[in-house]
Structure 1
């Protein structure tokens, strides 16, 4: 279907878009990439003159898909829709499909693209108006708009986008019946696989018996698995998902130990034991911190074994280095907060790159799959797209967890308070700034994604982008979805792991 030479460019791109939205793209990766690249070269001549006669829907569709596949296209292709007296032509206000396509195209914008910044406000306003004025029976367009406003295709977690899009596409008059059946069968197979993986991880979790040994830590196995699915949902990445889940469990244990529970003097000893292996000092630790040390030791051994099993004997050292950076950063933060020493905000900013956990989690995901030694080296060099992703998560996590952390760490002992004090702004202004920084990081990631030097490393850059997508879902509502999953993640987890899809004959 994708390779049909008789199809129009816009029809080919719409088919590709549907295949990707339905969660089927991993079956056709080579064909899709070849088609998008060919269409891009056909369309890009004379400053994309071939797109002059496209309507808003198709212009926005091609713009988004080109950028999603790493091809830069200038935003001035939308200038033809501008108005002299209004931001955009008033005739567009009733073109709901066009507005929806334009709205989703704004998610691939980069800094300085004013036409797309204006489009965010313009499309959001009119799409919300459409939702409020139409009946719930106006399906599927109303549901498609509603889902896009909550979980747009480029920002959304890919497997969630598929789960919510399949029932919508199934009701569309223009649907491809073969795609519908394939998408449902594919999702059902994936759901069965996910259920088995989670069952295996649950047995591992019970055998570990971590909650009885470290009772203050947050037990979030299912939520950790959700993050694993966010990184890589495709079936061939089952080992990567398992590694990510185990890494999140251990990192949650370390985070809760350093951030909320252990006295500073015990943390000093714990850090020396973890960093330099001074096991003679371990006897000075209380029993629960001895268990923490043992768990970290088990974690290191598990990941060494996993790396060796996958023929990556070099990988364990990179992962250990990422974890070392993490607990050293936790220790630095604990020193600041426990001693009531509010640091300079730029120091917190730098540390946030590490405490986001992106580098440790991505290194864990690299233990299986196509990543090679140079990919670990690339990751540990702190490339800009990874730093951007880490900071997006760090800033939005700090907003979502602000009230909870104030109760734990006391007054003026959070990153938000640090920013308020240093820049003499109100709480509202600080929180708004943190959200703006997160948006800036997303736009910077879009720019980095389109750099040609990443074209041969998509398999490693994609999890970095997916990390930001899960972070947006987990923290973007202003609630810490990992700590309070019932308020944010629970319906999505049920949709992926429990709620079935059926083929309607």
Structure 2
């Protein structure tokens, strides 16, 4: 997406921040500064809001009729659901989609009503949509695409749309889904060398994008915007769907940038340039990252809490990594453990300021939670922060001692410091009654497999992407160094194994998404979404959070600056 003529501030040249006491950091200044402050008030609301709302509701009604209508055949219904999801509209039709997919599942697998629709695209789309919804569909459904020798039939090689659908389906694999492992390798080979005579230019673009960014592994609103542009170029596109998608995207964009404007006011009060000149100034980037977890209008409070929490965590991370001496960091950890405003005395000024920001933020959260009868949640928020600080201190000790831990020693600590658990706690704080005390107990104390898998993805992708930069600035050893030393392998061999562990973690997550009877699907989906957002942030093995003037600038521009032309 071009940034020209968008009114976006230019990316400043990288410059060195204040030199730390023990180590150094090179974080370029914020790309966005005060840019979003102008959106903080309600004065930017569309004057035609009532007319737009009326049009929006009319279009929603038409799409709802399409979804619930009985005239569609299996493939038509699957395509419609897929288009609604990929255009970013599914949150308006969650009940209808769930009902339709249940009917499709029963018709296909119990009543065998899909026997005449067994082409590659139909089977692949059916499989992906059902597994995304938590249905435990066997991958043996793809055996019918194989020849007598057990290989995928050569007849499907020319079906570019089918291969693309199969490629996307493969990302929903479980452990032991050997058919899908083979299918993924098969589709990549043939999609990378597609015969342009067999694919339209638009389909060719979709293939190229999918190979870099599969559906499951991205920022949902960003992928919705991209798909809207692909969909618009399809001669057979539905104008009702397209119009609704554009209206929805622009409406949400207006709400989101207003939220970021209000967050920017809070951020300016922190005065990061003066109080924490050594840290990363990445408010807009963190907000967009959290949009990848949930973007829906009803989660405005949750987005505000989690963005502030992750900003605070980012500062704390840099205090431990860059600023403090080991003695100071031990005192800071004790102050957080005691959760006593007086415990900050004796700390350096910037750490005292940090403690005040932290405690004031928790007081603000506590007031709102008490007002809503959810005061019990504050205990879990404090506990998660204490766990985070202890883990940061452990890494600081390793760094000061030049200690390279074993993978068995490193991973339990590093899975905490990646911050996923803290993010989920913050997300759940601002959600409604779907989050219970049992959910927080599960999250904090049960070490759930799906959360651990998301942490593995986050930690290993972060380490691979930031490996060289972190070592240049004297950071604690990452999993790359730990693996290289422990197993006496090269850097590339270490990275290859770590990438395999990321792939295995995704299989863990896919398995845990199978219809749960304990944790609501809406919460499990947030875990999946964060893992997908992580892939976007560390795409091409580059840390786009640290290097925020590149891909992340495009992300922010697409999602919060440039509306879609109607």
The normalised TM-score by structure 2 is 0.84
> What residue in structure 1 maps to residue 346 of structure 2?
284
> What residue in structure 1 maps to residue 179 of structure 2?
115
Task: Say yes or no: does 1:178 pair with 2:240.
Answer: yes
Distance in 2 (alpha carbons) for counterparts of 1:446 and 1:277: 38
Distance in 2 (alpha carbons) for counterparts of 1:51 and 1:468: 35
Specify every segment of 5 or more residues in structure 1 that has no aligned partner in the other structure, as ranges.
none
> What residue in structure 2 maps to residue 80 of structure 1?
144
Q: How does 1:10-29 map to 2 (within 5 A)?
A: 10-29=75-94
Q: Aligned-pair distance for 1:373?
A: 2.4
> What residue in structure 2 maps to residue 209 of structure 1?
271
> What residue in structure 1 maps to residue 208 of structure 2?
146
Higher relative contact order (CA 8 A, sep 6+): 2
Instruction: Specify the SS of the correspondent of 1:485.
Output: coil
399, 405, 410: which one pairs with 1:343? 405
Specify every segment of 5 or more residues in structure 2 that has no aligned partner in the other structure, as ranges.
1-65
Q: How does 1:95-494 map to 2 (within 5 A)?
A: 95-130=159-194, 133=196, 138-277=200-339, 282-370=344-432, 371-380=435-444, 381-409=446-474, 413-453=477-517, 457-494=520-557
The normalised TM-score by structure 1 is 0.94
- The 8 Å contact of residues 341 and 359 in structure 2, kept in 1 or not, is answered as no
Distance in 2 (alpha carbons) for counterparts of 1:80 and 1:4: 30
Q: Aligned-pair distance for 1:284?
A: 2.4
The 10-residue stretch of structure 1 (312-321 or 15-24) with the greater mean CA deviation from structure 2: 312-321
Q: How does 1:56-95 map to 2 (within 5 A)?
A: 56-84=120-148, 87-95=151-159
Distance in 2 (alpha carbons) for counterparts of 1:299 and 1:345: 35
Q: What is the RMSD of the two structures over their aligned residues, measured on CA atoms?
A: 2.0
How has the CA–CA distance of structure 1 residues 280 and 34 changed in structure 2, closer, same or farther, with 3 Å as cutoff?
closer
The 10-residue stretch of structure 1 (339-348 or 12-21) with the greater mean CA deviation from structure 2: 339-348
Deviations for 1:364-403, whole angstroms, at most 9, x for unmatched residues? Answer: 1112223232222222222111111111111111111111
Q: Aligned-pair distance for 1:278?
A: 6.0
Distance in 1 (alpha carbons) for counterparts of 2:164 and 2:489: 36
- The 8 Å contact of residues 333 and 390 in structure 2, kept in 1 or not, is answered as yes
How has the CA–CA distance of structure 1 residues 192 and 205 changed in structure 2, closer, same or farther, with 3 Å as cutoff?
same
Deviations for 1:44-94, whole angstroms, at most 9, x for unmatched residues? Answer: 228x68457510000000000010000011111111212356842112111
Q: Aligned-pair distance for 1:452?
A: 3.4
- The 8 Å contact of residues 272 and 278 in structure 1, kept in 2 or not, is answered as no
How has the CA–CA distance of structure 1 residues 280 and 316 changed in structure 2, closer, same or farther, with 3 Å as cutoff?
closer
Distance in 2 (alpha carbons) for counterparts of 1:149 and 1:39: 28
Distance in 2 (alpha carbons) for counterparts of 1:273 and 1:365: 25
The 10-residue stretch of structure 1 (392-401 or 480-489) with the greater mean CA deviation from structure 2: 480-489
Distance in 2 (alpha carbons) for counterparts of 1:51 and 1:313: 54
- The 8 Å contact of residues 170 and 180 in structure 2, kept in 1 or not, is answered as yes
Task: Say yes or no: does 1:33 pair with 2:102.
Answer: no
Equivalent residue pairs, number = 498
